[in-house]
Amino acid sequence: MPHIQAFIDRAPPISVLEYWQLNKRKVAAQRAYQTMWSNMRSKSGRPVDLLLVPTMPHTALPHRRSSRWVGYTKLFNFLDYTALSFPAGRASKDLDEQANVASAYQPRNPNDAWNWGNYDIGTMDGHHVGLQIVGRRFEEEKVLGAAHQIQGLLET
């Protein structure tokens, strides 16, 4: 896949020592995020069990068009967190036209402009909007349980 090969070719190979140094930095980042999550509290003062966040900054893209930013998923992969992506709705041409989205929206930055440029109100009508549930490391059962509950709510 060309867009994956482009990632591989972005930098020269590194030594085993350099690789292990990167792994030490990764473990340090994982510990910092774990500490941050452990100190997080909801408005009621309870610990945060899960995160519900977007999967992408846009709907599904047409085939052979790659996304420029995968930060919503890449971070959780890097941290080895449990994450489950799921469709949580669909883009709606009718709703967008009613809200006059096309003429009212002003991109916030170049990436946002690129994302907006990919959105064709006619072509994307009915495409899935994705969300993901994120849990800490080794919390697959908790994430699956939350997904089951959310699926039930979306079906009602």
Query: Does the pLDDT value for residue 95 go beyond 80?
Result: yes
The 10 Å Cβ neighbour count of residue 133 is: 21
Mean pLDDT calculated for residue range 16-21: 97
State pTM to two decimals: 0.78
The number of domains in the chain is 1
Query: Does the pLDDT value for residue 73 go beyond 80?
Result: yes
Residue 81, classified by CB atoms within 10 Å of its CB into exposed (0-12), middle (13-18) or buried (19+), is buried
Query: Does the pLDDT value for residue 10 go beyond 90?
Result: no
Query: Does the pLDDT value for residue 69 go beyond 80?
Result: no
> Which domain range does residue 131 map to?
2-155
